[in-house]
Amino acid sequence: MFRTALRNVLAHKARLLMTVLAVMLGVAFVSGTLVFTNTISDAYQNSSAKGFEGVDVAVQARYQDSKGDQVGKVPDLTQAVLDKAAKVPGAASATGVVSGFTAIADKDGKLIGGGWQSEGGNYWGTKDARYPLVSGHAPSGRNEVLIDSRTAERAGYQVGDTVRISVDGPVLEPTIAGIFTTDDGNVTAGGSLALFDTATAQQLFGKKGAYDEIDVTAKAGTGQAALKSQLDAALPKKLVETTTGQKLADDQAEQISSSMSGLRQGLLVFAGIALFVGTFIIANTFTMLVAQRTKELALLRAVGASRRQVTRSVLIEAFVVGAVAGVTGLVAGIGIGAGLRSLLGSLGATVPDGPLVITPGTVAAALAVGVVITMLAAWLPGRRAARIPPVAAMSALHSAPTTRSLVLRNTIGALFSAAGATVIVAATTMSGSDGQAPMGLGAVLLIIGVFVLTPLLSRPLIAAAAPLLRGFGVAGKLARQNSVRNPRRTAATASALMIGLTLITGMTVMAGSLQKSIDRMASAAIRADYVVSMANGNALSPDVAKKVAATDGVTASSPLSNSPSRIDGKTEFLTGVNGSAIGKLTDLTVDSGTFRVAGSDVVVDDDTAKSHGWKAGSAFTVHYEDGKAQRLTVAAVYEGNQLIRGIMLDSAALTPHQSDPADMQVMVKTADGASSATKDRLEKALGSNPAIKVQDKQDLSNSIAQAFTLILNMVYGLLAMAVIVAVLGVINTLAMSVFERSQEIGMLRAIGLDRKAVKRMVRLESLVISLFGGVLGIGLGVFFGWAAGQLVGAKMPTYELVLPWARMAVFLLLAGTVGVLAALWPARRAAKLNVLAAIKSE
Amino acid sequence: MSTTPIADRRTTSVAARATDLSKIYGQGETQVVALDRVTVEFRQAEFTAIMGPSGSGKSTLMHCVAGLDTFSSGSVRIGDTELGSLKDKQLTKLRRDKIGFIFQAFNLLPTLTALENITLPMDIAGRKPDKQWLDSVIQMVGLRDRLGHRPSQLSGGQQQRVAVARALASRPEIIFGDEPTGNLDSRSGAEVLGFLRNSVRELGQTVVMVTHDPVAASYADRVVFLADGRIVDEMYRPTAETVLDFMKQFDAKGRTS
Rounded Cα distance between B60 and B50, Å, is 11
* Helices A755-793 and A487-525, packing angle to 10 deg: 40
Taking the CB of residue A779, how many other CB atoms lie within 10 A of it? 17
Judge: B68–A836 Cβ closer than 8 Å, yes or no: yes
Query: Looking at CA atoms only, how far is residue A745 from chain B in angstroms?
Result: 9
CB burial class (10 A; 0-12, 13-18, 19+) of residue B55? middle
The confidence band for B8, taking pLDDT boundaries of 50, 70 and 90, is very low
Q: Which residues contact A377 (CB under 8 A, 6 or more apart)?
A: A278, A279, A280, A282, A283, A286, A318
Judge: B92–A753 Cβ closer than 8 Å, yes or no: yes
SS3 A85: helix
- Please name the residue of chain A whose CA is at the shortest distance from the CA of residue B100: A751
Cβ pairs bridging A and B (under 8 Å): 68
Give the β-pairing of A91-97 and A57-61.
unpaired
Rounded Cα distance between A168 and A674, Å, is 25
Put residue B28 in one of left, alpha, beta given phi > 0 → left and psi -120 to 50 → alpha.
left
In this prediction, residue A42 carries a pLDDT of 83
Handedness of CA A156, A161, A166, A171 (dihedral sign): negative
Closest CA to B93 of A757, A588, A641, A341: A757
Closest CA to B191 of B154, B220, B216: B216
- Please name the residue of chain A whose CA is at the shortest distance from the CA of residue B107: A747
Helices (H), A655-696: 676-685
Phi, psi of A9, rounded to the nearest 5 degrees: -60, -45
Judge: B112–A481 Cβ closer than 8 Å, yes or no: yes
CB < 8 Å to B166, chain A: 751
CB < 8 Å to A477, chain B: 123
| Cβ–Cβ < 8 Å for A740, A292 | yes
Q: Which residues contact A143 (CB under 8 A, 6 or more apart)?
A: A174, A175
In this prediction, residue A219 carries a pLDDT of 87
Q: Which amino acid is it at A316?
A: I
Q: Which amino acid is it at A467?
A: P
- Partner residue opposite A835 with nearest CB, options B68, B106, B107: B68
| Cβ–Cβ < 8 Å for B58, B51 | yes
| Cβ–Cβ < 8 Å for B47, B221 | yes
* Helices A436-464 and A487-525, packing angle to 10 deg: 120
Query: Looking at CA atoms only, how far is residue A836 from chain B in angstroms?
Result: 7
Which pLDDT tens digit goes with each residue over B45-68?
A: 999 999 988 888 888 999 999 988
Which pLDDT tens digit goes with each residue over A789-833?
A: 888 777 777 788 888 899 999 999 999 999 999 999 999 989 988
Rounded Cα distance between A24 and A197, Å, is 57
CB < 8 Å to B100, chain A: 751
- Angle (CA) B213-B214-B215 rounded to 5° is 90
SS3 A754: coil
- Beta bridge partners, A111, equal A105
In this prediction, residue A398 carries a pLDDT of 42
CB burial class (10 A; 0-12, 13-18, 19+) of residue A600? middle
Q: How far apart are the first and last CA of chain A?
A: 26
CB < 8 Å to A744, chain B: 106, 109-110
Judge: A839–B106 Cβ closer than 8 Å, yes or no: yes
Element (H, E) at A647: strand A647-650
- Partner residue opposite A751 with nearest CB, options B69, B111, B120: B120
Q: If interface means Cβ-Cβ distance under 8 Å, which residues of chain A face chain B?
A: 400, 473-474, 477-478, 481-482, 485, 743-744, 746-755, 757, 835-836, 839
Averaged pLDDT, B76-105: 88
- Please name the residue of chain A whose CA is at the shortest distance from the CA of residue B109: A744
Query: Looking at CA atoms only, how far is residue A463 from chain B in angstroms?
Result: 14
| Cβ–Cβ < 8 Å for A835, A554 | no
Judge: A754–B166 Cβ closer than 8 Å, yes or no: no
- Angle (CA) A305-A306-A310 rounded to 5° is 80
| Cβ–Cβ < 8 Å for A477, A469 | yes
Rounded Cα distance between A274 and A21, Å, is 12
Put residue A176 in one of left, alpha, beta given phi > 0 → left and psi -120 to 50 → alpha.
beta
> What is the ipTM, given to two decimal places?
0.83
- Does residue B174 or residue A76 have the better pLDDT? B174
Helices (H), A741-804: 742-750, 755-793
| Cβ–Cβ < 8 Å for A819, A730 | yes
- Does residue B204 or residue A256 have the better pLDDT? B204
Closest CA to A636 of A613, A618, A610, A611: A618
Put residue A342 in one of left, alpha, beta given phi > 0 → left and psi -120 to 50 → alpha.
alpha
Closest CA to A700 of A568, A531, A490: A531
Query: Looking at CA atoms only, how far is residue B122 from chain A in angstroms?
Result: 9
Rounded Cα distance between B31 and B14, Å, is 33
Strands, DSSP E only, in A474-538? 530-534
Give the β-pairing of A240-244 and A57-61.
antiparallel
CB burial class (10 A; 0-12, 13-18, 19+) of residue B81? middle
In this prediction, residue B254 carries a pLDDT of 56
- B11: pLDDT strictly greater than 60: no
B98 touches A at CB < 8 Å = no
Phi, psi of A580, rounded to the nearest 5 degrees: -80, -20
Put residue A752 in one of left, alpha, beta given phi > 0 → left and psi -120 to 50 → alpha.
left
* Helices A697-740 and A742-750, packing angle to 10 deg: 80
Query: Looking at CA atoms only, how far is residue A280 from chain B in angstroms?
Result: 25
Judge: A751–B103 Cβ closer than 8 Å, yes or no: no
Rounded Cα distance between A820 and A826, Å, is 11
- Please name the residue of chain B whose CA is at the shortest distance from the CA of residue A761: B124
3-state secondary structure A759-775: HHHHHHHHHHHHHHHHH
Which pLDDT tens digit goes with each residue over B104-149?
A: 877 788 888 999 999 988 888 888 888 988 998 898 888 889 999 9
Q: How far is CA A144 from the centre of its chain?
A: 41
Query: What are the sequence ranges of the domains in chain A?
Result: 1-53+246-401, 57-245, 455-525+698-842, 537-690
Judge: A754–B111 Cβ closer than 8 Å, yes or no: no
Query: Looking at CA atoms only, how far is residue B101 from chain A in angstroms?
Result: 7
Q: How far is CA B1 from the centre of its chain?
A: 22
Taking the CB of residue A464, how many other CB atoms lie within 10 A of it? 11
- B9: pLDDT strictly greater than 50: no
Closest CA to A810 of A842, A839, A781, A841: A781
- B1: pLDDT strictly greater than 70: no
Write the DSSP string, chain B: -----GGGGGGSPEEEEEEEEEEEES-GGG-EEEEEEEEEEEETT-EEEEE--TTSSHHHHHHHHTTSS--SEEEEEETTEESTT--HHHHHHHHHHHEEEE-SS--S-TTS-HHHHHTHHHHHHT----HHHHHHHHHHHT-GGGTT--GGGS-HHHHHHHHHHHHHHT--SEEEEESTTTTS-HHHHHHHHHHHHHHHHHH---EEEE-S-HHHHTTSSEEEEEETTEEEEEEES--HHHHHHHHHHHHHHHHH-
In this prediction, residue B12 carries a pLDDT of 63
Strands, DSSP E only, in A237-325? 240-244
- Determine what percent of chain B is predicted with pLDDT higher than 70: 93
Closest CA to A520 of A668, A666, A700: A700
Judge: A752–B152 Cβ closer than 8 Å, yes or no: no
Averaged pLDDT, B90-107: 87
Rounded Cα distance between A254 and A350, Å, is 21
SS3 A24: helix
| Best A403, A751, A761 residue to mutate vs chain B (most B CBs within 10 Å) | A751
B54 touches A at CB < 8 Å = no
B97 touches A at CB < 8 Å = yes
Element (H, E) at A654: helix A651-654
Which pLDDT tens digit goes with each residue over A710-724?
A: 888 888 888 888 888
Q: Which residues contact A253 (CB under 8 A, 6 or more apart)?
A: A45, A48, A49
What is the mean pLDDT for each group of 10 consecutive residues in chain A (842 residues)?
72 77 86 86 77 82 78 81 87 88 84 74 84 90 90 89 82 90 75 90 85 88 88 85 87 82 84 84 83 79 81 88 92 87 67 79 90 89 83 55 69 91 86 79 90 87 84 85 86 89 91 85 81 81 86 89 87 89 87 88 90 90 88 90 83 86 87 84 83 83 82 84 86 86 88 90 92 93 90 76 90 92 91 82 52
B228 touches A at CB < 8 Å = no
Phi, psi of A135, rounded to the nearest 5 degrees: -155, 165
Q: Which residues contact A608 (CB under 8 A, 6 or more apart)?
A: A572, A614, A640, A645, A646, A647
B120 touches A at CB < 8 Å = yes
Query: What are the sequence ranges of the domains in chain B?
Result: 48-63+92-256
- Angle (CA) B63-B117-B220 rounded to 5° is 45
- Please name the residue of chain B whose CA is at the shortest distance from the CA of residue A755: B89
B25 touches A at CB < 8 Å = no
In this prediction, residue B7 carries a pLDDT of 42
Instruction: Among 3.40.50.620, 2.40.30.10, 3.40.50.300, 3.40.50.1360, name the CATH number for the domain at B48-63+92-256.
Output: 3.40.50.300
B103 touches A at CB < 8 Å = yes
Put residue A472 in one of left, alpha, beta given phi > 0 → left and psi -120 to 50 → alpha.
alpha
